[in-house]
Structure 1
C-alpha cells in the first residue's frame, strides 16, 4: 500500500479549497443583499423554475431536504419566498418567489460577472473548467457499481 499523496496534489483538496475561495468571493456581495451562499443557490434554483418543491430544490442543489427546509424558512422570514402545501399532494411543500424575491434576481445578475472579472480568466476558460467539474461529478455520482471510476 502506498502513502497518500501530499495535500497539494490531492484533487479533492483542490476542489474543496477552490469552493471555499469561491464562497469567500461571493460573501461580501451576498452580505450586501442579506443572503447566505446556500440561500443564493436556492434562489437561483427558484429563478430557474418558480414553485419547485422542497425536494426538487434539494435535488437541484445536491442537498438533503432536511438541509433545504431551514434555509427556505429563513428566506420566507426575510420575505423572499412563501411556502405552501401543494393542493394536488398535501405532503409536498411548494416554494414560490415573492415580488421581493423575484426583484432580487435583477440585483444578483452581475455577481457572476464580478467573479469572472476577479478570476482574471476568460469566460471560455471558466466554462471549460465548469464543464470538466460537471463531468467529474457525473462520473463520481455513478459510483463504481454503475460504470463510474473506482
Structure 2
C-alpha cells in the first residue's frame, strides 16, 4: 500500500472496495449453484442457520443473519411455500414465531454440501486458511461497528 494520504489512495487500495468486489464475486459464484437447488443466497443463509440450530424464533434468526423482520419474513414465507420450513406461533408467547426445518429442508442440507466443496475447489484455500480469513474480516467488521 502506498504512503499517500487517504485522499490520494487508489481505488484498489481501499478495503471497503475489496470487500465490495468480493461480495459481488461471491454472489456470482453462488447464484448458479444455489439456483440449481431452488434457493437464493439469503434463503441459503436462513437454511444454514437452521441446519446449525433448528427451531429458532424469527428474532433470533434476524439477529444472527443481520436481517430486519421486514426482509426476513418474506424469505421465510417463500421457504415455507417451498416446503423447506414451518412457521408457528410459540406456545408460550403468541408474539413470537418459531421456525423449524421440514424433512425436505433437512434433506436439502446433504444436497447443498457440494456448494461448499465447490467453493473450496474454486478459491484453492483449505478450511483453516478460509477460517483465518473469515476471522480477519470479522475482526475488521467488529472494529468498524464498535467505531474504533
CA distance in 2, matches of 1:27, 1:48: 22
TM-score, normalised on structure 2? 0.91
CA distance in 1, matches of 2:69, 2:9: 35
**Residues matched between the structures, number:** 144
Secondary structure (helix, strand or coil) at the match of 1:110 reads: helix
* Equivalent of residue 42 in structure 1, options 43, 46, 49: 46
Determine the structure 2 residue equivalent to 1:75.
Answer: 79
Deviation at 1:5, TM superposition (A): 3.1
Q: Gaps spanning 5+ residues in structure 2: where?
A: none
Secondary structure (helix, strand or coil) at the match of 2:95 reads: strand
Return closer, same or farther for 1:90/1:119 CA change in 2, 3 Å cut-off: same
Q: How does 1:20-99 map to 2 (within 5 A)?
A: 20-99=24-103
Of 115-124 and 49-58, deviating more is: 115-124
Deviation at 1:114, TM superposition (A): 0.8
CA distance in 1, matches of 2:120, 2:143: 26
Q: Gaps spanning 5+ residues in structure 1: where?
A: 144-148
CA distance in 1, matches of 2:15, 2:84: 37
CA distance in 1, matches of 2:128, 2:103: 34
Secondary structure (helix, strand or coil) at the match of 1:132 reads: helix
Deviant stretches of 4+, over 3 Å = none
TM-score, normalised on structure 1? 0.89
CA distance in 2, matches of 1:4, 1:94: 51
Secondary structure (helix, strand or coil) at the match of 1:96 reads: strand
Return closer, same or farther for 1:37/1:2 CA change in 2, 3 Å cut-off: closer
* Equivalent of residue 21 in structure 2, options 17, 22, 39: 17
CA distance in 2, matches of 1:88, 1:79: 25
Deviation at 1:99, TM superposition (A): 0.5
